[in-house]
Amino acid sequence: MKAIKVTTLVLAILLAVLFGLYYSGYGGGLAMQAFLAYNSPSGNFDPAETVPTPDYADVANWSALPGSDDLADLVPESVVPANGEQQVDTFFIHPTAYLKSASWISPMDPDSATEENIHWMMANQASAFNGCCNVYAPRYREATIFSYFVGSEKEREAIMSFAYDDVRRAFEYYMAHYNQGRPFIIAAHSQGTHHSLRLLKEVIDGQWHDQMVAAYLIGGIVVPVPHSWLDSMPNIGACEAEDDLGCVVHWDTMPEGADPMVRSQQSLCTNPLSWRVDEERADAALNQGAVIPEETLNNSFGRGSDEPTGKVFAALSAPVAGHTWAQCRDGTLFAGSQQGTPFEAMIDMTGTYHGLDYALFYMNIRNNAITRANRYLAVNGQTAL
């Protein structure tokens, strides 16, 4: 058992180093190839080898649904939960939970460590939107974390497109069977944000942009949310104030003292304390409450078991008001150091605050979603929440 733990730690550290090299644009050669040769899924991606297409008429294929007892219903201690059905929905697309290399696409095993990771995401991320909204979150055949490092861009696109197709089907099912004409928020993180970029451009911008309150596309990290993408859509742009509607917010969080993230294009950076797109520092006094994540993710990468670890998600802790300042610089959001704080456990080994994109600004996200939802209702002659 000790040897297994040591091996897992070594692999995790190696993967973290490779992530760092990948993000910085250096060292993508032999070291990356050696790691992938040992730890990536074997063979090329074959859609025929995946589990069947999820049927979104089956409630088992949703991680969160209104009226069900799910972890997206959690609220932080001392926060008053919303009552009953809301007038606005949130469609939440979860980030990468599948960190294993048994296959290029998640087998969607409901009794797995991957599923526990999705539970973590419902509890600590999707729950931020239950103050304004009925939360819908599909389970989907997500791409493994290793798909981001596959050598061929064509193969990587095939894997990610396969996962995106599930997200699109889930959203179209939601619009046809659940939405009932209500306004909606799109919310996502990491891989979920990557799929959201396509969903907004290919589906929502043309057909349903009038119903979209806003899109919280958070934590794109290696895949930017560039201004060129925003400029390519006739109806959806960047949010520039706290109550703008039909627009996009995005940030990637790094600690003070780090370098801005290096990406192919500079990414949109929205300051979640001021909701402006500028480089003014927003003081910690504007932080309405960071929320310490409930439980931890199963961060065992690569080969090995995907057995569940028995994590229990009981409750969210009370918000910590004034916890950190925030400032956008060169397309990256910077925040105060979390070393020595209860948030330290979610700092990844590359040093990014990717795992804290929601947690450090949880109450600002929650309250801003309520603000935008209320403005949408008021503008459209409906009663506020």
Give the model's pLDDT for residue 54: 98
Residue 138 has pLDDT above 80, yes or no: yes
Give the model's pLDDT for residue 30: 57
- Looking at the domain assignment, is residue 121 inside a domain? yes
- Looking at the domain assignment, is residue 96 inside a domain? yes
Please tell me the distance from the alpha carbon of residue 131 to that of residue 84, in angstroms, as a whole number. Answer: 11
- Looking at the domain assignment, is residue 384 inside a domain? no
Give the model's pLDDT for residue 31: 57
- Tell me the CA end-to-end span of the chain in Å, nearest whole number: 53
How far is Cα of residue 216 from the mean position of the Cα atoms in its chain? 9
Which phi and psi angles does 12 have, rounded to 5°? -65, -40
Find the radius of gyration of the CA atoms of the chain: 20
- Looking at the domain assignment, is residue 19 inside a domain? yes
Per DSSP, the residues of 234-295 read SS-EE--STT--SEEE---EEETTSPPPP-SSPBP---TTT--SS-PPBPGGG---B-PPSS
- Torsion angle (degrees, nearest 10) of CA 167, 175, 59, 146: 10
Range of weakest confidence among 16-25, 112-121, 164-173: 16-25
Question: Which ranges constitute the DSSP H helices of 25-110?
Answer: 30-39
Residue 26 has pLDDT above 90, yes or no: no
Give the model's pLDDT for residue 15: 45
Contacts of 112 (CB under 8 A, 6+ apart): 306, 307, 308
| CB neighbour burial string for 6-32, b if at least 16 within 10 angstroms, e if fewer | eebeebbebbbbbbbbbbeeeeeeeeb
What is the reported pTM? 0.92
Give the model's pLDDT for residue 4: 36
| Token representation of residue 325 | 């300042």
Please report, rounded to a whole number, the percentage of residues in the chain having pLDDT higher than 70: 90
Contacts of 134 (CB under 8 A, 6+ apart): 66, 85, 86, 88, 89, 90, 182
Number of domains into which the chain is organized = 1
Domain that holds residue 171: 2-379
Mean pLDDT (whole number) for 96-119: 97
Contacts of 198 (CB under 8 A, 6+ apart): 164, 168
Give the model's pLDDT for residue 104: 96
- Looking at the domain assignment, is residue 95 inside a domain? yes
Range of weakest confidence among 95-99, 245-249, 264-268, 333-337: 264-268
Please report, rounded to a whole number, the percentage of residues in the chain having pLDDT higher than 90: 81
**pLDDT tens-digit profile of 184-197?**
999 999 999 999 99
Mean pLDDT (whole number) for 316-338: 98
- Looking at the domain assignment, is residue 312 inside a domain? yes
- Looking at the domain assignment, is residue 385 inside a domain? no
Residue 19 has pLDDT above 70, yes or no: no
Mean pLDDT of the chain: 91
Please tell me the distance from the alpha carbon of residue 360 to that of residue 73, in angstroms, as a whole number. Answer: 19
Residue 18 has pLDDT above 50, yes or no: no
